[in-house]
Structures are given as C-alpha cells and as structure tokens.
Structure 1
Amino acid sequence: MYLSKLEILGFKSFAQKTVIKFNDGVTSIVGPNGCGKTNIVDAIRWCLGEQKSSALRSDKMENVIFNGTANRKPMGMSEVSLTIENTKGVLPTEYTDVTITRRIFRSGESEYLLNKNLCRLKDITNLFMDTGIGANAYSVIELKMVETILSSKAEERRTMFEEAAGVNKYKLRRRLALRKLDEVKSDLTRVNDIVAEVNKNVNSLERQAKKADRYNRHIATLKEIELDLAEREFASFSKKIEKIKTTKDENLTKKAELDLDLDDLSLKLNKLKSNLDQIESELKSKRSKVNKKTEVIYSVLNDISVAEERKRSADSNIEKYSAEIAELGKRINITSDDIENAKQRIVKTTEEVDNKRSSQNEIKSKLEELRTNLDEKKSAVKRQSEQIVHKFKAVSLKENELLNIANALDGKNNQITKLNDKVLQLTNDVAKTVGFIESLNEEKDTVAKKISESEEQYSKKVAEKEKLEIKLNFLRTNELELKSLISALSEKINFIQNLVDNLEGISRGTKSLIENTSWAKGDVALLASIGSSDEDFRMAAEAALRYNVNNILITSLEDLQRGIKYLKENDLGRASFYILDRDESSRGGFLQTVERFFENRRRKNLMKDDAFVDWAENIIKTEKKWSRFFSKLVHNTAIVKDFDSAMRLSAKYSNLSFATMNGDFFDGAGIIDSGVSPEFEETLFGKKQLLDQLKNELPAKQKQLRNFSESIFSTTEKIKGIDLKVLSNQGKMLVNDLANIDKQISQFEFEKKKANDEIEKTHQLVQEYAADANKIDNEKNKISDDLDKLQSAHSSADTELRIKEEESLKTEKEFNSLIYSENETKLELERALGAVRSLDNLVIQSKNNIENLNTSIDIRQNDIGRANKAIEEIKNILNSKNSELENAKQEKDILTEELEKTEKSYLEIKSEAAKIENEQNDIRSEKDSILDSNRDLEIELNESEIKKQNLTEHISEEYGLQVELKQFDDLQTFNFTEKHNEVHDFRQKIKNLGPINLLAYSEFEEEKKRLDFLIQQRDDLVESEKDIVKTIDEINHAAHTQFLKTFDDIRENFIRVFRTLFDPGDEVDLKLEEGADPLEGKIEIIAKPKGKRPTSIELLSGGEKTLTAIALLFAIYLVKPSPFCILDEIDAPLDDANIDRFTRLIKDFSNDTQFIVVTHNKRTMESAETLYGVTMQEEGVSKIVSVRFNENVNVVA
C-alpha cells in the first residue's frame, strides 16, 4: 500500500487544479522559501481529517481556501483528494484504489467523500485506525514535532506508541464497555429505587389490611351501644319539650302588665321635653350673640398685630437700603480702575500681533522652496526602487531555474541505475505471483459458504429486533403522553389549590373574616369550605348551595355584632352571616310542627316521581357539628335528573327548590339559574369538589406511568440483548475477506501483467534518460552565465538607490523643521489676537456694570421714601383699632350674664325629666328580662327539637333505622354521660386507626407480584454488571500485553537505530514510568551521545535532538511500518555528516515505506528517485514542476 496521487484545488496558494503523482521509494519536494512546499503537507494532513486549524497554520478553518491575489479573485471552496493504492488489503475495504476527498466552502459547510461517495469523518478515522496513517499519526512528521516528541509532554509521544501497538481499538472497546457499565449501573440504581418504593408499599398495604379488620370489629360494637343510647335520649328530649312550653305561657302574661305602666310614664316625660325644647331655642340664640361678639374682638386684635408687624418691617428695610447704597458706590470706583488697566494692556498686545505676522510670512516663503525640491528627490528614489525590484525578481527566477536544472540532472543519473535493478526484481516477482493465485482460489470457496450462513442468522435477529422496537416506540409514546397528562393534572391541581387557599371569588370582607377569626369567640367557618359531595353529585350540590356558599357560619348574635364591627373599623366591605341560634329560633317554631305532617306527605309524593334522584341534604357531606346547618339550608331542595324534569316538578311543587345533575337550579320563588360555568369560574364549593376529584385521579395516573416505565425498561433490555452489531461485523468481516481475496487475485494478475510490461519499457527509459542528461547539462551552463550578469546589475542599482535615499531624507528633515516653526508662530499669533479681543470685551462689560450700579442706587433711594410714608399710615390705623377693641369687650360682658341665667333654668327641668326616664328604664329592664327568658326558653325548645330530629336523622343515616318513642323507668338515674363516653371511646378508637383502605388486601396481593418481578429484573442487571466488568478486565489485559510487547520491540529497535546514527557505545534507552498503568504512564527517553552526559534530552543540540527523534520514529516503523511517511524539513538542523546518515536510513526503509521529503538540503535531494519543484511564477499562486530522473521536466500544474 502506498500514496499514489494527490489532487489539490483552491487549497491555500494552489489556486488551480494541481495533480501530484507519487511513486515507490523516496520523493523530494523542493523550492524557495514561501513558494508553498509545506502547503502540500498541510493538504495531505487536512484530507486525512485534521480538525485543528492551528495545525494547518491558520486562525480558522476557512482560511485554507485560496484567498485571491492582485490578479485572481478569491475562490469559494477548497478541495483535496488523496488516492491510496490498497493492493495488499491493509485498509479494511474491498477497493484496491481508495480515494479520500475533503471539501470546505466559505459558508462553513464541509464534506467528506470516500471513493466519490459522501461519508462521515468517523468513517475515515475508522478506515485508518491502527494503520499508522492519520492526521495525528506518525505518518506526517514536521520539524516542530521533533521538539514535541522529545518534550516533557508525554501525551503526543504516547500516541505514536499506541498507534504502533494497535491498542486504540482496545481503548475504544473499553470506552464503549465503560459507557454500557454506567448505563447498567444507572438502570440498577433506578430499579433499586423502584424496588425500595414497591417494598415500602407492600409493607404498608399489609399493615392496612390488618387495620381494616380491626375497624370492622369496632364498627359492629359501636352500632349496638349507639342504638340503645339514641332511644333513651329520644324519650328524654320529648319530656323536656312539654315542660318548656308551659313556662313560656306564664312569662307572656306578666309582660302585658308591664307595658301599661310604661305608657303612663311616657305621657309625663313628653310634656317636660316640650318645655326643654323652648328653653334650648332661647339658649342657642344667646350663645350665638356671645360667639359673634368674641369673633369681633379676635378680628380687631389680629388687625392690630398685623399693623405693628408692618411698621417693624418698614424700619428694617430703611436700614438695609441705606447699607446697599454705600456698597454700590464702592463697586463703581473699583470698576473704573479696571477699565484704565485694560486699555493699557490692549496697546501692548497689538504691537506683539504685528511682529508675529511678519515672522509667519518669512517661514511660508522658505517652505514653498523646500517642498518643490523634496518632491523631485522622492520621485527619483521611487523610480530607482522599482528598477531594483524588477532586477531582484529576474535574479530569483534564474536561481530557481538553475536549482531545478541541477536537481533534474542528478535525478536522471540515479534513475538509470535503479531501472536496471528493477528489471531483475520484476522477473522474480512474476514467478511468485502464479503460486499465490492458485492458493487464493481455494480459500475463496470456503469464505463464500460462511457468508451465506451468516446472512440467514442476521435476518432472523433483525426481524425480532424490529418487533421489539415497534413495541418500545408504542410504549414510549404512551409514556410521554401520560407524563404530559400527569404534568397538566398536577399544574391544574396546584392552580385550583391556589384558588381555594386564596379564597378566590369571595368578597374582600368575607375573606378577611375567614383568614383572621380573632374577632369571634365561638366557631367560625365558611359554608363552602366545610361541605363536600360525591363526584357524581358535584354539580347538583353546587347548584343547591349556589346562593349560600359564601356565607360565614357563626354560633351567636354577639359574634355577628363583632364581625360587623370588624368590617366597619377596617373598611373591608360587606359579608353575609348565618347564625346558628337565630337560624334555629326562626325556623323551629310551632308552625313547622303543624305543617310537618303535610310537608312529609308532599316529599313522599315527590320521591315516587321517576325524575327524582335524592334530597340535597343527603348528598352533602360535612362534620357532625355542621350537619344541621346544611340540613336546614337545603331541607326543601330536591335533586332531579335534568332541566325538563325540574321545570315540570317546580310548577307542581311551588314550595320546593330543585337542582339538576347538570347544575341547573329552580328556586321555589320562580328564579331559574342555568347555563355552563368554566371549571375555574365555579363557586369555591365547586372548586373544592373539583380539587378532590383531581387529587383522586392523580395516584392512578402515576401508577399507570410506573407500569409503562417498567415495560419500557423490560423491552429495552430485550433489545440490548440482540446485538446485531456483532452479527453484522461477522458478516462484514467475511465479505471483506472475500473481497480481499478477489482483490488479491486481481492484483496478482495485474502485477504479473504490469511486471512484464515494465520490463519491456525499462530498456527504452534507460536510453532516453541518458539523452536527457546531456541536454540538461548544456542548459545549466547557459543559465549560470545569465545569472552572473543579472547579479552584477542588481548590485550597481542597489548602491545608487542608497545615495538617493540619503539625499531625500536630509531634505525631508529640513522641511519638517520649518513646518514645526510655522505651526508654533500661528499658535502664538492666535493667542495674542485672543488676548486683544478679551480686553476689548472687558472694557465694554465694565462700562455697562457702572451704568447698572448707578441705576440700582436710584432705585434704593426711592424705596426709602416709600417706607417712611408707610410708617405714618400704620400709626393712624393702630389708634383707631385700640378704641374699637374697648367697646367690643364691654358689650360681650352684658350678653354673657344673660346666658348664664337661662342655662340655670334649663338644667332644673332636665333633672326632673331624667328621674322619669330612670323609672321607664327599670320597667323596660324587667320586661327585657322576661323577653330574654322567653328567648332562652325558645332556644332551649328549638335546641331540644333539633337534637331530637338530629338524633333521628343520625341513626337513619348511620344505620338505616328509625328511632321510636319508648317508655323508660330509669331515665332519671340513667348515666347518659358514661354511655356517651363509651361511644366516644369507640369512635376515638376508629379515628385512631386513621384512614382505612378496605381494598388493602387485594392491593397487597397485586403489589407483592410486582415486587417479585422487579427483584428478578434487579438480579438480571447485577449479572449483566458482572459480565461487563469481566469484559473490561479482559480488554485491559489484552491491551496491556500488546502494548508492553510493542514497547519492548520499539525499545530494542530504538537502541539499535540510535547507535547506528551515532556511536555503538552511546548510552540510550526507553523507560516506562514505574508503578503507573502502562497504558497511562509516562514514557521516558534517555539519550546520551558518547562524551556527553546531559541531564535531559532538552539539553541536546538541535541536530542531536533531530537524530534522536528520527531514531525513535524509525524504531516504531520497524515494529509497524506505516505505508508512507511525510517528512517536512526535519533535516534542516543536520550537518552534512548527519545528513548522510539520515539519507542512508531513509534508503534502508524505502523498500517497505514510501517517503515524501520536503527539504532544502542538496544531499537529501540527491537521495530521491523523484523530485518535485514548487515555484511561484505568478505572485501568490503555487505551481508544481516534476522531475523523474532520466526524463524531461514536466509542468504538472
């Protein structure tokens, strides 16, 4: 395998398409500095996949595109193609010619092609893996890499050892295995978490099942005790009600007698109040007169105070104006002196301006003369420089031409010798090829049979994997949808919970009273917050309570008063209250008892209707202490099926209200509430019901999501178990083997034919090369003569240029000095003119200031006259106001005496009226006491009736039984408290059990099965983890073994090659870092030439370091030869003796490795079979001239 062809288009300095063909052996690339030689090396490196722009000597990757010259436009793309002969099948592909192409566009897009087919960078990297070829492999060596190989950074040095040892594939397999191990560990952690969670659920469900059994036993005992207690309480309540009714009638008779006494006292009090009204009117008139006279006195006093203040202000102003006039006179004198000084300075500065203008005119005249002289000398220098540049270019072209001719002549002579040796080698190769072809045909039949078997097995596994992947996609889609649903459900719950917590939809006053209940002494609750219903009845229950859900429930009239006071004091708006005492007293009178019979009959008739569903009081759930509120609130509300049924029944039962299952409401008064409410516009009661429903749905959805996740995990594990890559790789390896065999057969046939043709052509080439050598020698002599003449002319022109440049520089220096003097004069002139203008302005401004000061003095003198006149006027006003004040005081004293007499009479009559009012209050107090007593009896009566009714309803709701009135002889002695405590104890036992899951046993069985399944999955993952760890250990062992073996081979080769290049007695060695992992530890190079003892290889000379690096590279080649090697000017630091050693070493290796050497050294050029010259005939554009010894010179591009 070798590099056969390089095609370059638009890469760096290669603007036009350039094709370079490479042959076996050594090829040299030569040319002057800057002509583009190293760009060929960069093109090869770039095509092999180099990704670092710095390695290509560019800031960014798009800089490799030809950027244009003065005569050429920039190109839009760059393309490099590299063709490799793969006749020995070193590369894992079926092609004998492998062409790699890389393109890049200015837009930033790039492409890779393999044999003109688009591919990935990874495909090219994998193609060259462990072959010694690659952008960063040891196949491309430049001078700076010598320092890198020998530097203290061991990473890049290690890369070459690993490439030679072929451990990169092991490292790749280890990375993949470690990644898979991480995945297994992650899965194992997840499964362990699920197992722990499920195990916790199983334990919890087992406890719940046992708790449910205890719950059932407690419920049975509670029923027996509570039924007996209810019958006794029912009898006790009935007896108490009769006694209360008798006491109420007696109180009503006493109240009538007190009302008569109260009427008599009211007549006497009204007569006294009439007299008081007349006296109050007279008092009001006299008080008004006294107040008016007092106001007059205050007004006069105020006027006197104002006048005195005005007089003090005028006196103060006179003193201030006099002081200002004196100060203004001083300022006028100072300003007059400033004007005289400014006029003197103006005269002096004007003389300076005239002198500066005269100097400026003289400098301008001199500058014009020097400017003309300087322009003439600069033109002469420019013309002479252009002549020198033209002559220099001619000399460079002749030097390049002479170098190319000399190299071509040496190459021709060496090539003739090589061609004769080649004929003998080709004859031996033809005989060997015939034997190889026969052996390969037998191997081909065996491989074809294995391919057929491998394809059949692969097809079965593909079908199985496709089914599992379809199932996995279905599960993942459902899982994703379920996750979105759960996320939306959670967000909805949080949103509604926030609405409920913040009491959204409730008035400001109601919200404040509920959030801060410190104003109430009894229980306080919002009706919407304490009720609930089953989901099926949610809309019906909300409709039944729609007008009352925002009511606040309180237990006393006093709490009502406190609540209203709290709202008013804090300006919080309004709120609706529902009072327990008032509700029971207002709704629990005798009328209800009389009508109950007829009401029950109507209710029973309604319940027989097909549209009837239930009573609203039965569907609403709440705590026991609040249950009677809801019973009273919705007592006459029925739940029916639909709107039409409610419409029909509301007409028939006008005293009842109806709520439908869809949320419509028909009030007994004829009001109909219907329509559709969005979820988030429902009442607080509806939001609370919706929130409970959503919270019940969420756990079921989460459980369903866990089931999907487990199925996905199980299916994924099955898919991972089907390793198509192994089967595919086996098939590909067999196909590659078959293709390689075919290629080898074709290649051997081709080589046989090629060898015979080559033998015939070689004799003709020898004769042609000899003739070419003679022609080249004659041309070389002619070019040498031309070069001598050009160099002489260039030297004379250069001397003349230096003389003219010195004269021009002297004149320019004198010109610049005068320019500086002119600028200084201009600046001084401007300063003097500015000073004159400033002084003129100062004189004008000072004169204006004097005029303004005189005006100010006149104004102040006028102000003093006005102030004296005002003082005389104020004295007259003060005399008048003092007289007015004395008269007003005398009139006020007379009015005050009359007012006091009237007030005394008023107080005597008012005292008599107060006595009568006290008698009335005593009678009213006694009357209120009787009313309070009756109210308490009414409350006690209603409370007993409600307790009796609640007792009946509780037994009916709790156990489905009716309580009947029975006679008990031991009611007086029966201990109700003890029985209630017993009921409370059992209820507390049930409550202490907490929430009861009656389905716990079935759920326990289900979760137990799931737990067993997950434990099995966990065991499988543990085994998988052990297998992967074992695989990683095997990979590490294989890599260590192969690396250490290769390292030992390289070490032996390095010692041998180093001593060949230097001296057999030199101290040289390679060492691995002790105690470190061989695949990660540092590699130390020891190189001590004879007679030297450097402490570090960094201390070696440039040539010694270069030879040491070359020795290491060739030591690697001996272990694993790279098909080709590119050396970019690494011979630059070597002297002639070391160059000879270097070229001999290359000759020895050229039989197995193709060398492409970029060099300036003649001895290195002499060792090459093929020579390429790089020139820049057009500025900025590189071209290639190829020389094959004993052939004519050919222009490749």
Structure 2
Amino acid sequence: MYLSKLELHGFKSFAQKTTVRFDQGITSIVGPNGCGKTNVADAIRWVLGEQKASTLRSDKMENVIFNGTRTRKPLGMSEVSLTIENTKNILPTEYSEVIITRRLYRSGESEYLLNKIPCRLKDIVDLFMDTGMGPDAYSVIELKMIEDILSERFDDRRKLFEEAAGVTKYKVRRKQALKKLEQTRHDLERINDIIAEVQKSVQSLERQAKKAELYEVYMKELRDLDLNHSEREYSALRLRLDPLKEALNKLIHELETESTAVITEDAALEKTNLELTVIQNELSIRQKEMNVQIQSIQREEEGISVRRERKRSNEESIRRHEQEIAEIHQTLDSLKSPESETEARLENLTKLAASAETAFQLVQETFSSFEQSVSEKRREVGAALQKVQTLNRDLSQIETERERLVARRDAAQNRIGVLRKEISSFTEQSDDLTSELDEIRFELKRSQEQVAAEEARLQQVESQIEETRKQIDAARTLLNASDLEIRTHENRKSFLLSVLESHEDLPEGTRLLIRQGKLKKKKTLADLLVVSDDRYVPVINRWLGDRGSLLVADSAEDALEHLSWLKSEKKGLAGFILTDRVTSGPDQSMPVLKGARPLQEVVSSRSLPDGLLAVLCWGVYVTDDRETAANLQKQHGSLTFLTSDGFIFSDQSAIRGGASANEKESRLGVEAKLNDLERIISQWKEKKEKSAGEITQLQSGLDALLLSRSDQVVRDIRKRVSELEKQAAQLDASIQSSKKRAGYDEQEILRLEQETRLLNGQIEDLLPDIDEKSYELKKLQGSSATMQESLRQLESEWTSQSAQLQDARAKWITFQSQAENAANDLKRLREQKTDLSDRITRRLSDIQNSRQQIDLIIREISEAETRLVSLYETRDQSRVTIDQLEVRQSELRGDVNRIESRLRDLRIRKETLLNLRTGHELKIQETEFSITSLERRILDDYNVELAVKTFTDQSDMDSARLADEVKRYRERIRGLGNVNTGALEEYKAARERFEFMSSQREDLVGAEANLKQVIDEINQTAQTQFQNVFTQIRDNFHSTFATLFEPGDEADLILEDNPDPLEAKIEIIAKPRGKRPQSITLLSGGEKTLTAIALLFAIYLVKPSPFCILDEVDAPLDDANIDRFSKIIRRFSKDTQFIIITHNKKTMEVANTLYGVTMEEKGVSKLVSVRFDEDVPA
C-alpha cells in the first residue's frame, strides 16, 4: 500500500492544477526557502481531514485557497485529491484504489469525497483510524513536531503509541460508552427522583382519598344547592382536562418506555460494535499473516529460480573448464618441438659469439696504436689553424663592424622608404576610415529610427492587449451574468415545478386523487388556463377561488366514481368540472365596453373546450384601473370587472381586493410561465455559449498579441545600435591614431637621414685595417694547407681501421644478442608450459567445486520445494480463516445496521412523543388556567370547590333554608380543609405509575451494568494491547537508538506506574557516554532529532505506516548524522514509502525520485521531477 498520486488545484501557492506522482521507495522534494515545497505536506495533511488552521501554518482555514498575485486573480476554491493504492487491504474498504478529495470554497462551504462520492469527514476519519495514516498520526512528521514529541506534553507523545497500538478506536468507543453510561446514570437519578416523588405522592393521596370519601358525602348535598350554570361550566372544563391528563400520562409512559428501549439498543449496539472491532482486528492480523506467508512463498519461489539458475551456471562452468583443459593439452603438445629447436640454436649461437669476441680484441689492439699517431698530427694542425682563426676572427670583427655600419645605414635608408610608404598608407587609411565612419553613422541613424518605430509598435500592441483584456473581462462579466440568470431562472423553474407537483394548495381529497394516480387527467382548472398578461394572474386567481382547484372529468360517471371512493374511504373532499356538459358557448355575445376587455381575450386553454371556456369567462371583463372598473360596474350591474391591481367589482354592493403577506404562488398560468422560463433559459444559455466562444476567440487573439509583444526585435536593434556606436568610436579613434602615426613617421625620417650621414663616415675609417689583416691571413692559410693534407692521409688510414673495428664489434654483438634472444625464448616456452599446467590444475579444482555446488543446490531446491508445499498449505488455511472472519464481519455489520435502524426509529418515535407531550402540557395549562379562573370566581362568590360530575338541580328547598343548608355544608366542607376530589383516581394512577417506574429503574440498572461490562472489556483489551505494543516499541527503540548513535550511547522508554496505562505518562531517558541518565530536553538539537527519528522507526517496526512524510527533520543534523539518517531511511524504504522535504544534498542522494519546487512566477509554485534509475548498466 502506498500513495500514488497527489493532485492540487488552488491550494496555497499551487494556483494551477498540479499532479505529483509518487513511486514506492524514497521521493525527495527540494527547493529554495519560500518556494512552497512544505505546501505539499500541508496538502496531504489537509486532504486527510486536518481541521486546525494553525497546523497548516494559517490563521484561518480560508487561507489555504490561492489568494492571487500581482498578475493572477484569487481563486474561489481549493481542491486536493490523494490517490492511495490499497494493495494490502490495510484500509477497511473493498476498493484497491482509494481517492480522497477535499474542497473548500471561499463562501465557507466544504466537501469531502471518497472515490468521487460525497461523504462525511467522519467517514474519512474512521477510514484511517488506527492505520497510522491520519493527519495527527506518525505518518507526517515535521521539524517542529520533534519538539512536540520530545516535550513535556506527554499527551502528544502518547498519541503516537496509541496509534501504533491500534487503541484509538477503543478510546473512541470507550468515550462513547462512558457518555452513554453518564446519560444512563442521569436517567437513573431522574427516575429515582421521580420514584421518590411518586412514593410521597402515593402516601399523600392515600390520606387524601379517605378525606375525599367524607368530602363526597358533603359535596353530594352541596351540588344540589350550588349554581347550575357555574357547575355546568366547571364540569365541561374538567371533562376536557381529564382526557388530556390521561393522554399526557400515557405519553409520559410511552416516552419512558422509548427512552429505556433507546438505552437498551445503545448498549446492544456498543456490544456489537466491540465484537465487530475485535473481528476487524483479528481479520487485519490474519491478512497481515497471509501477506507475510505470500511474501515467504514469493521468496521461496524466487530462491528456487535463483538456485536453478546457479545450477545451470555451474554446469556451464564445468563444460567450459573441460573444454579449456583440452585446449591446454593441445597447446602443450604443440610446444614440445619449438623447445628442442630453441635449445640447439642457443648452443650454436653461444659458440659463434665467443669466436667473434676474440677477433674483435685483436683488431682493437692494432687500431689503438695507429690512433695515437693521428692524434699528434691533429694537435700540430690545430695549432696552425688556431693562429689562422685568431687572425680571421680579428678580420671578421672588423668586417662585421663595417657590415654592421653598412647594415645600419641601409636599414636607415630602408626605414626612410618604409616610413614614407607608411605616411602614404596612413593618409589613404584615414580617408577609407572616414568613408566607413560616414556609412556607419548613416546605418546608426537608420537603426535608431527602427528602434523608435518598433517601440511605437510595441506600445500599440500593449494598447491592443489592454483593450483585448477589457473585452475578455466584459465577456466574462456577461458569462457570469448569464450563469446567474440561468441559475435564477432555473430556481424559479424548480419553484414553479414544486408548486405543480406538491399539490399542497389543493383540498385533501383532490390531492389524494392526483397522488394515487386514479385520474385520467391529473390537472386542475387552474393548471389548464393560460393568462396572456401576467398583471391579471393574481386577480383572476382570486376570482376563480375554489373553482381553480376543480379537477377536469370527461363525464359525470367518472367524477361520481372518484367522489364515491373519497366518501367511502373518508379521505376528504374534491370537485370536478365536466367537459361533456357544455358543447357550445353562451347564446348572447358580451357587449363591447370602452376601457375594458372580455376576460376570454386574456385567458385561453388548449385542453378545455372553447364552449366551456366561453361559459366560464362570460360576463367578466378586465380593466387597467379601479376607476374605470367602478364606473363600468355601476352602468352594468350584472357584469364583473377585474383590475390589474387586484380588485374585483362583482356587483354594486361588493368590492374585493387587498393583498396577503402569506399569499402563495398561484397555480394559474404556471405551465405558461414554465414554457417562458424554458425559452428564457435557452436564450441565456445561447448568450453564455456565445460569450464563451467570444472569450476563446479573444483569448486566442490575446495569446497572439502576447507573442508579438516580445521586445526581442527592439533588443536586437538596440544591440546593433550599440555595436555601431562602438564601431564608430573605434573608427574615429583609428583615424586619429593614423594621423598621429604619420606625424611620428615624418619626424623619424629626419632623424634617420642624419644617422645615415654619420654611418658613411665610420665605414670609410675601417677600410685600411681590413687590407692589412687580409694579407696576413692569406700567408698563414698557405702553410696550414700543407699540414692539413698530411693529416687527411693519416685520417683516411685511421678511418679504414676504424671500420674494421666496428665490423668486428658488430659481428660479436650480433651473435651475443641472438644467443640472449634464444635463451629468452627457451625461458618463455618453459614458463608457458608451467603456466598451462597450473591452469589445468586450477580448472580441475573449479570443476570439482562446481560439482559440489550443484549437489548442494539440488539439496537446497528439494528443501525449498518442501517448505513451499508447507507454505501453500498454511496460506490456504489462512485464506479459509480470513473468509470466515469476513463472513462474520459482514454479519456483524448487518447487525449494526439493523440496530442503528431500530435506534433511528426509536429516536424518531421519542422525538415525536416529546413534541406530543409538549403540546398536551400546553393544552392542560390552558385548561387548568380556565378552571383556576372559574374556581377563583366561584370561590370568591360561594367559598366552595366545583365537582366533576354533571350538575342536576334537584333541590326543593326554599331560599332561606337553602341558604342555611348551604351555609352549614360550607362550614362542614371548610372544616375538612383542602380536599382533592380526584384523590381516589389519582391514588390509583400514582400507584400504577410507581410500579411502572420501578420496573423502568430495574431496566436502567441492567443497562448500566451492561455498559460497565462493555467499558471494562474495552479497557482490558486496549490496555493489554497498549502494554504489549509499548514493550515492543521499547525493545525496538533500544535497537534503533544504537543504530543512530555512537556505541555506548543508551536510551530507554519509561511508562509511568498508573492503574490505567492508557492515561500514563511516557518519558524518554537518554544516556550519552560519560553522563548520567538525563531528560531528553537537555540534549542538543541534533541529538533530539536523532532520538525522535529512532522513536519513530521503533514504532514503524511494530506497525509500519504505508507512507511517511518527513518535512525538513534533517535540518539540525551534521554530515555524520545525515549518513546515519540516510542509512536507516534506506533500510525502512523496503516496507514504507518515504516522502522527504529537505535542503540537504546528502539526503537528496538517497532518493529514487526528486521533485524540485520552483517559483518562476512570484507567488505561484511549480514542480519539476527527476527519476533516478536504481541499476545503471556498466
């Protein structure tokens, strides 16, 4: 299971729709500060249900919506979708691919979707509960969370352990059960209070009942003497009050029954949910076990394939080595003949080299004696030549000086010619450069004009772009207005359809006939009439009155059939208008009246016969004002006039009009309005499509203008202008330089002419010395020539002897070299034979090893196949167990659904009973107030209480005696004090209620016991599971801490001694080398980070999260710690997908995929991805 894709649109700085694809392994997200890379982690948190804006680094949740930039408008919605590959069924859903989507609008509305189906936030929270993947779980870790994990706030740290232990759902269930237990106890206390009050009431009513018996005796006599009218009025009120109280008591009884049933069903639901949770945990464990078994099978199968490949490789090695041994034997056989030949050749060459060495020594002795004579002659010649050289050198120096002076003179003369040519060349070059400068200045002026023209064109393009944008904004405004009009008219259409379909304004019988489908025509008279002028709809509707709700029938038989059914079923009243009774209109036509129109000109119908419509509208006119209608009605008293402002003048004594604040939409003309709305909606949709087309066309034009807006041409021309200006400056400088150099050359010519005259005089002074030295030299050269001839003869003989010496030496060296080569060849042949023999030995050893490897591999394959058969059986057993658990899970879910359905029905029933009880209580209060008022009045007048039974005047006493008797009975009644006349009935009712409430208390006590048992089971399961997981995490923490720190560093986790481990504090103790155990808060930033990472991966070893997002957690780490961090990341990346947001280059090196977040446009983030191959071929 892993994250495969993240899609963002309008989330924070990701204004455009951006897709991030994740692979299994390690993905690194990098980028400069402020580029928006952490927004990727925030998006994952947000889509998983994060509700705290502060966690998303915002003041309010609305800030996650892209808020616009200088060039972009703010968006109205933020949407993030996260695709999860549920390949290992970690998420409790049947889908292998799960897509979670969250949207937030600026209006504050939000949406959650699960696989593109709307859902609740609770559904998403429940989906990720106890998976380690929620927004608050350990799957998303950022640097500031390191401090939170390691701070003194133990609750934050304990949440990680609870998530890993999978007890979050137990805590949620326990919280719900505790809430229900509290409610049950509250209900139990309330019932106990009620029982105590009822018990007091029973005791009191028992005494009152006895007094009431005596009171009844007195009252029997007094009733005959009391006022008949007051008695009758009082009796009527009492008769109305008692049923209400009885009904109220019944409602209270039913309400208490329903409340008890709700509590009972709640307890049953909680128990079923607990069993379902246990089954789900067991199913998850079994699925994990089967996944492990499947992985083991895959490993064994892969191992068998690898071993078979190794066996084939060893067999191929044996064949190859045997072939190589055969080739080596052939090579050895081929070396025997060259070895013997080389030995014979070496012996012969050794003898020849010794003979040549002896001859060389004899020639060398003769050559040495002759060489001494030649050396003495050379010394004589050398002395003579030395004198010649000295004289020649002196002459040469004089000649050299003369030649130097001549050369200087000639050079000066040549330089004068060159300078004169240069002066001419500089003059011509200056003229050419001046012409070129004029051309460049002309081209420069033309380029500057082009720049001005292009800038004017760009300004025009900018104006066109601005105008096009205004047109686009106007078209978008029209598009939005079209959308608004369409929605408005669609809403109006829906409302009118609801008016037609609800039938709430029709009589009950009419509504029932339409809804049951018993009619051939399901329209009323108002439905079938069409009013051409909307101003008259309200007044025509009032004029129609109840006739507008008449149904249309083709015959009296049809109408009577439906009316008979209504009567027999007592389902209400209805009326019909018969279309077959009127075949033609009235005999006389309606008179033409000035200022009024016949109603039939305004009202029409496609479904009613014309005759019937004419009869219906005959004698009725419509006018535009009341004054006209009133005048016409006075003149034509039998006619009716309807005005556009809602008044009806039906005769000289009746005018109807006015308006009601609660007047509902009329059914009259609704169908015509619906048709008009359809036409209007269609027109607005056409306008919308036209606007959309205009926007597309204008956008294309805008894109073209934006492309043409490029100032590249201006930049190129300006660049050319700059180049031309540089060339002009260079040419001008060159012209000035040429003129200066011509002036320098003229001065140099004058100097050289003066130097030439001086050199000619020096040359004339050297000529006498040259003649004298030449004579001496000629004389010495004659004597030295004779000595040189004698030396040449000796050297010729010496050369001949030297050649003989060299021949003897060359012959000796040749034979010696050939002998050495033969010896080397013999040595090489013998070494080659030895090497080949060694190779045969090695290859035989390799063959033996390969055969042993083949035997070992065959045994390993056999053992692996045996293990594989056992694994197949275990996997099949696990699959059967999983199937059984899934069946039980499905059954329990069905039970949960049924119980929840019953609970919903019970709660609805309870709410209905509560509403009924409130209504009865209000009625009782009203009646009791009336009775109290009457009793107060009678008591003030007669000082008696009225009886409940019906009064009958049977007294025959005269007034005086009756007064005495009344006075006497009143004294007796007054002596009794306050008497409850209904004490007997109240006593009986109170006794029954006391018994009923006692049984209710027993039910609540049972429900309380069941909830306590459920809570105890939840606590026991969760605490055991939490302690087991804590022990595993603690052991793993020792290992991971040792991996990330130096040898000798120690750390530990300590669980506070608390009766409830789920509420106990978890403390982290660190022990760096050479220090006593200290709190984690005393460590450095890097040590804290490594400790938190060690804890995180210790949790992963127990319950690995399918993915982990680390947001710059490596920031405090140095290079050495980064290496440890990278090593443990690689280790866990086999089972967990890592997404790391980092600045560190070493961390980037471990990533398989690298995403770069840039901000080419300020305020808008953009992604660039690089995929690294894991295996790069050599």
State TM-score, norm by structure 2: 0.41
